Structure 1
């Protein structure tokens, strides 16, 4: 088992230098995917890749979305021979001290998806906090299970064989914010369980969000529509799984 860190990055420059420096203690190679950032941000990321020898920089020629950047990172990790990839967001929200715990859980259960389960402080925007519960309800319907506690946390460890096998079967999944949820639901359908680790999440002051109010809400709604129909197609299989459990 070999691990790396994947960071999707679109114009996040405020904390990324500090974040990359802090990741050195884990002695894991870092793959940062520049998702079509502007010229100044791209130039800054290039200097960081030169500054930190453990960072590999992959560039998208234009912005394709967080989900696409994560998929690019996972595929590149696999091409480099890694078996697992730790996804970390570039905006400084995650408590990276928990990376060791995520990897430890993954080593004990190498075929599972290991995901953070956010513990929020007062910095979380209230509309985001409450909106998450709507997604939780849809996911419980789509999986006929309460096993999945949170699908929106971008702090997780992917088993690459299972994840890339799923991506190869479907071509690609959502390219933007819907990806985190859809990949977890579809992995569950494929028999890949998820183990959750409670982890602190902080929304940095002056943080930048790339959530597109209309486009991403429409994409997420369409994703849940597809997943509900996918659940109905798999209904006998999911009911049998529930009965056996």
Structure 2
């Protein structure tokens, strides 16, 4: 039984999507803030520990749905499960947001306003960092930015690694159905690149991102960087096959918006 009525065709009917793995101390406040903005919430528990499961059980309500994955399979697997569940429940869009308090929930109305105005677009958070950001993480992102600009032959996507974004579910789930997406930290970048390849427009929304003191990060420096490197190799090869179409679209955009 879906936890929300099916949306009418063409209607803007968003929900929030939170993947979680052991962030028991911050999830309740994140859910409360999202509900204050009127959003129903889909939480995907990616095999969390017993203490986190107990907190999540207490959050379930008619407007907060919990999907429980028995084993930890990675952020990408959790988000994919949530996107499909949101689509099947009749939502038109899913606002992905982290469970650890990094993202500014005050910007939810801005994401929703962009999505309502441009329902076919992927609305991506463009992080504005404060001094809490680890310098190695900050500089490392620029390597991925350059790779993504090559993979899409455009500067359309300003930051492909930010996990604060509004997905148009019809196009996103169609891409999931076409070919599986990565299960772990390489998900955010690959899904954005593949949606651009699909012809989905992108809007970049500046938003404040913080790294909470004593925050729990699940980024594995060695393994996740190896996965990301393999992903970029795969996407760069994919770009070569799609280069004529990407260049044609770029030329079409330039003609539509002359300097």
TM-score by length of 1: 0.96
Deviations 1:155-185 (A, max 9, x none): 1100000000011001x11110100000000
After TM superposition, list the pairs within 5 Å mapping 1:68-87 onto structure 2.
Answer: 68-87=77-96
> 1:131 aligned to 2:140?
yes
* 8 A contact 2:24–2:52 mirrored in 1: yes
Cα distance in 2, alignment partners of residues 62 and 105 from structure 1: 35
Partner-residue secondary structure (3-state), 1:234 = helix
Q: Distance in 2 between matches of 1:41 and 1:10?
A: 8
Partner SS state of residue 185, structure 2: coil
1:233 has 2:241 as partner = yes
CA shift digits 1:96-121 (9 cap, x unpaired):
11111101001111000001100000
Q: Residue 183 of structure 1 corresponds to which residue in structure 2?
A: 191
In 2, Cα distance between equivalents of 1:21 and 1:104:
20
Q: Distance in 1 between matches of 2:201 and 2:136?
A: 29
SS of the residue corresponding to residue 19 of structure 2 reads strand
> 1:48 aligns to what SS in structure 2?
coil
State the SS of the aligned residue for 2:236: helix
Equivalent residue for 1:107?
A: 116
Q: Which residue of 2 aligns with 1:59?
A: 68
Whole-angstrom CA distance in 1 between matches of 2:33 and 2:167: 21
Distance between the aligned counterparts of 2:28 and 2:243, measured in 1? 47
Task: Tell me, in whole angstroms, the C-alpha distance in 2 between the residues paired with 1:6 and 1:207.
Answer: 20
- 2:43 is aligned with 1:35: no
Structure 1 residue 53 displacement after superposition: 4.3
Partner of 1:17: 28
Is the Cα–Cα contact under 8 Å of residues 94 and 167 in structure 2 kept in the other structure? Answer: yes
Alignment RMSD, CA only?
Answer: 1.0
Tell me how far 1:238 sits from its aligned partner.
1.4
> Aligned to 1:209, what secondary structure does the other structure show?
coil
Q: Distance in 2 between matches of 1:163 and 1:61?
A: 24
Partners in 1 of 2:156 and 2:72 — Cα distance?
A: 34
- Cα deviations across residues 74-99 of structure 1 (Å, max 9, x unaligned)? 11101111011101100100001111
Could you say which residue in structure 2 is the equivalent of 1:224? Answer: 232
The alignment partner of 2:58 has SS state of: helix
Structure 1, unaligned stretches of length 5 or more?
Answer: none
Normalising by structure 2, we get a TM-score of 0.91
Partner residue of 2:156? 147
Runs of 4+ in 1 over 3 A off after TM superposition: none
2:78 and 2:242 mapped to 1: Cα distance? 29
